[in-house]
Structure 1
Amino acid sequence: MAMDSWSKLSFHHKIFVGLVGYSLLMVACLAAFQYNRERQFKADKLNAQLQLLNDRIIDDISECDTVFEPVLNELGAFDGLRVSIISLDGRLVYDSMLDSMPGADHRGRKEVSDAIREGIGFDTRRHSKSTGQTYFYSAKKGKGYIVRTAMPYSVSLDEFLSADYTFLWVIAGITVAMCFIGFFATRGMGENVARLSEFAERAERGERVYDTAAFPDDELGVISSHIVRLYARLQQALADRDREHRLVMEEEQEKIRIKRRLTNNINHELKTPVAAMQVCLETLMAHPDMAQSKKDEFLGRCYGASCRLNRLLADVSQLTRMEDGGDSIVRENVCIGEIVAEVCDEFKPVAAEKGVEIVCSLGYDAYVKGNATLLASIFRNLIDNALAYSGCSRIDIRQEPADGGYITISVADDGCGVASEHLPRLFERFYRIDKGRSRQAGGTGLGLAIVKNAVLFHGGKITVRNRKPSGLCFTFSLELTID
């Protein structure tokens, strides 16, 4: 409830209440300090007077040697003063107010213990059980004994030891005057802050605030006008920053997701050739007397698995290099026609064995700013895929019409094509339509992923579609070098 009431107060009232509370706290601390200081001063003054009497008693006792009573009786009759002689072992030897000496140990009394330890001691207020009165005690150590004088509390002694409250009234008057001054000073500040708070609320709701006339012509008003002018620009800057941050975070999350899936896929793909090699080697080790023909068969399988593993690692390395190290890949002006011609010559012997004709109609006038190795990998993977899986009899590579600044190339075959539901996923890493057939052909599942990344690396884009009546056609564009 108190917190709710405090939160409902205006800034003016909060700062005024805080100022008053701080002032009262300072006054209370000062009053307590002065009160204790003055009481201590008066207690020290009374103790000094009693110590003079203690000195006189000690001197008189020294002169009279063992004759105590005449001197002590004379002082004890002085204005109700109580005089006691206490031995160092705490026994009460003499007391001017008592006829018989109690056997209690007085070393536990504050003034006695201080006198034994430090030579003098006093206690400002303690009730005596033996006399039934309250005394101010002062003690001093003599030769083998303690002299203690005690002044009984009375109205005059209470007045003497009490603090003077005049200074408190002066401080209270000054505090009241400061509170009045503080009230009017904080009221002006509170009004200014209230206007600024209203502006902040309107700005938080997204309202357009242009009116600066409501603010005073002072430092606060200048600050407020700056806030108004900067508000619109700040909103736009925050929106731009949030949008850029969101895009960056989405991009980073997508990269992490792709890398995680790639890692899992690589782990899965590595198991197959490694397991095949392990089985072959374990079989050879378990049967050393195996026929040479069988040994050659197992060694051939092991070699094939190692070749596939090598191709897989090479493809993964190439993908990683394109994705993470694009800036480190060398770019230069290369003739796209020459690259395609070299790749076609490389595959012609294999194509001839399978009865496939590779036809290239690209000229030698198109140049691309790129990496020759990556560009060659585009055509190498597309031709290799067609030879391995399509069952085609012809592969056509030709230039398609394109917008200025780009060259569009298509690589098409007349093979079996691909079911339409598989087309959107052909460029995914390790995606296979017929997994068994793909592995038997020695594929790594990364060829088309490398093709897509290489095209994107060169600023182009790639699509795939089925041909009529049969076959598959890959079409991609590359950015030309502009002289």
Structure 2
Amino acid sequence: MFKLSVGHRLYISVMALFLIYTACFIIFQHNREKQYKIDTLNQELQDYNRHMHEAVLKKGIRNEQALTSFVTDHLEKNIRVTLIDRKGNVFYDNEIKNYAHIGNHANRPEFIQAIKNGQGQTLERKSSTLSREYFYSATYFPKEGYIIRTALPYNDYLTQSLQADQHYIWFALIAFFLLTFVLYRFIRQLARNITQLRTFAWRADHNESLDIEELINFEDDELGEIAERLIKLYKRLQNTRKEQDILKRELTQNIAHELKTPVASIQGYLETIINTPNLTEQTQKQFMERCYAQSVRLTTLLQDISILNRLDDGSPYLKRETVNIGLLVKQIGEETALPLQEKHMTFNNMLPEDIIITGNKTLLYSIFRNLTDNAIAYAGQGTTITLKATRAETVWQFTFFDNGIGIGKEHLDRIFERFYRLDKGRSRENGGTGLGLSIVKNAIIFHGGTIQVCNLPTGGLRFDFTLACL
């Protein structure tokens, strides 16, 4: 079954409405023009009646000769003049003189209207006396108690005089065809854009290529611009989805690889203990300690992955509370005092005491703890770690830096990637999971901030980041 498109349905609907409007306009204008000419003619006859009334008052109502003289002197073409008393009896008529045979006029429409309203008219009525159709206009003069009625016969001249002007019909038809043309041009553009959008939707739903000529050029209007932007946005989302799929595969492979290492180590040590009954107690203890160390690393890795997953899931799953950053960093300084001492390092905490941030305490702890652990692991022996902060309108600006060896420029752009390591062997020896700085970046973004990293000219690594204030 053939189905009209949206554009064609719109075109037909609008044209039908305008066609109805045009027809109503023509009918209304025709009636208006005709009524105007009727009113004009009636007004002329009413004026004639009043002039005759003035003449009648001067020469006498029943003066047949004077009335005939006036009508003769002021005769309009084909006009018939009749005088009727208030009871409907005719006492003068310029065409019929045998008044006794003229019927009573009390039931004539124009007579009834004149008695009631002062004047009356009948557009087209057949005369009972002369058996012709007339246009009647009657005027009642209550003081004298009579009605003057004038009438014009309905002939070709009167019909033509009352005929409405036809110019408005041509105007309406020209306007109709102009609108048809303009609307057709508009609907054609609209239909093309809708057709292209329909093609886009079908191909997108069936996972078919969008790189076809039909989806390249759109009409130069608002809908065409919207359609073009929609297709570009969809393509961008497709590319983003592909990139996400690649990243997910890489992440899954990295997670599997990172989990495999501690699990294999634990399995190897336990297998050695089980299959070697002659191991000394000291060796067994040493292997068990290594198993425990790998299990701790495995736990840390799983915790880091869990934190990143929660960050990816979004804020509804993370509780927010008021956190004192000064106390949080002081706690981290106490917890890392021993590894700092072992490497002869110094943690120079220069934070103000009034840093209050509304956020997730676990994530805020992870930011400063991961930065500190990273500096302890890689800055080098005898270095100093410094942490500063300043208030800037709606954010706190933090600077975390050390005077260590820094990193190569080629690593700066990738340092926040998940599982990215500068030296994989050294990172695993230090117990790193490769997720610490990725957690730092995502946690800062979660708290409405940004982070940048650079090497210091004098040596060392510097992190500049912001966190939204309370």
TM range (shorter): 0.5 to 0.7
Partner of 1:80: none
Partner of 1:338: 327
Q: In 2, Cα distance between the equivalents of 1:384 and 1:192? A: 76
Partner of 1:411: 400
Q: In 2, Cα distance between the equivalents of 1:469 and 1:412? A: 11
Change (3 A) 1:192 1:470: closer
Q: In 1, Cα distance between the equivalents of 2:242 and 2:397? A: 32
Query: Secondary structure in 2 aligned to 1:395?
Result: strand
Query: Secondary structure in 2 aligned to 1:469?
Result: coil
Q: How many matched pairs? A: 269
Q: In 1, Cα distance between the equivalents of 2:304 and 2:183? A: 64
Deviates more, 1:363-372 or 1:469-478: 363-372
Give 1:180-259 correspondences, 5 Å limit. 198-202=185-189, 234-239=223-228, 241-242=230-231, 244-246=233-235, 248-259=237-248
Query: Secondary structure in 1 aligned to 2:336?
Result: helix
Give aligned-pair identity as a percent. 42
Q: In 1, Cα distance between the equivalents of 2:437 and 2:182? A: 65
2:366 pairs with one of 364, 377, 401: 377
Partner of 1:395: 385
Give 1:159-170 correspondences, 5 Å limit. none
Give 1:264-283 correspondences, 5 Å limit. 264-283=253-272
Partner of 1:479: 468
Runs of 4+ in 1 over 3 A off after TM superposition: 191-206, 231-257
Partner of 1:22: none
Give 1:459-470 correspondences, 5 Å limit. 459-470=448-459
Change (3 A) 1:248 1:339: farther
Matched residue type, 1:399? A
Q: In 1, Cα distance between the equivalents of 2:397 and 2:232? A: 34
Change (3 A) 1:376 1:326: same
Partner of 2:93: none
Partner of 1:300: 289
- TM-score between both structures, scaled by the size of structure 1: 0.51
Q: How far 1:273 sits from its partner (Å)?
A: 0.7
Give ranges in structure 2 of 5+ residues lacking alignment.
1-7, 9-177, 194-219
Change (3 A) 1:200 1:480: same
Q: In 1, Cα distance between the equivalents of 2:333 and 2:231? A: 50
Query: Secondary structure in 1 aligned to 2:291?
Result: helix
Q: In 1, Cα distance between the equivalents of 2:227 and 2:305? A: 40
Q: How far 1:261 sits from its partner (Å)?
A: 1.8
Give 1:401-440 correspondences, 5 Å limit. 403-440=392-429
Change (3 A) 1:443 1:203: same
Q: How far 1:205 sits from its partner (Å)?
A: 7.9
Matched residue type, 2:351? L
Partner of 1:105: none
Query: Secondary structure in 1 aligned to 2:278?
Result: coil
Partner of 1:316: 305
Cα RMSD (Å): 2.9
Q: In 2, Cα distance between the equivalents of 1:235 and 1:202? A: 9
Q: In 2, Cα distance between the equivalents of 1:287 and 1:455? A: 50
* Deviation digits for residues 20-56 of structure 1 (CA, Å, limit 9, x no counterpart): xxxxxxxxxxxxxxxxxxxxxxxxxxxxxxxxxxxxx
Partner of 1:62: none
Change (3 A) 1:255 1:326: farther
Q: In 2, Cα distance between the equivalents of 1:399 and 1:464? A: 16
Q: In 2, Cα distance between the equivalents of 1:295 and 1:424? A: 44
Q: How far 1:408 sits from its partner (Å)?
A: 0.9
Alignment pair present for 1:445 and 2:457: no
Q: In 1, Cα distance between the equivalents of 2:239 and 2:441? A: 21
Matched residue type, 2:445? L
Q: In 2, Cα distance between the equivalents of 1:378 and 1:418? A: 20
Q: How far 1:235 sits from its partner (Å)?
A: 3.8
Deviates more, 1:239-248 or 1:461-470: 239-248
Q: How far 1:321 sits from its partner (Å)?
A: 0.8
Q: In 1, Cα distance between the equivalents of 2:447 and 2:236? A: 23
Q: In 2, Cα distance between the equivalents of 1:248 and 1:327? A: 24
* Deviation digits for residues 134-171 of structure 1 (CA, Å, limit 9, x no counterpart): xxxxxxxxxxxxxxxxxxxxxxxxxxxxxxxxxxxxxx
Q: In 1, Cα distance between the equivalents of 2:302 and 2:370? A: 15
Q: How far 1:472 sits from its partner (Å)?
A: 0.7
Matched residue type, 2:385? I
Give ranges in structure 1 of 5+ residues lacking alignment.
1-10, 12-190, 207-230
Give 1:10-21 correspondences, 5 Å limit. none
Q: In 2, Cα distance between the equivalents of 1:408 and 1:325? A: 24
Q: In 1, Cα distance between the equivalents of 2:342 and 2:222? A: 70
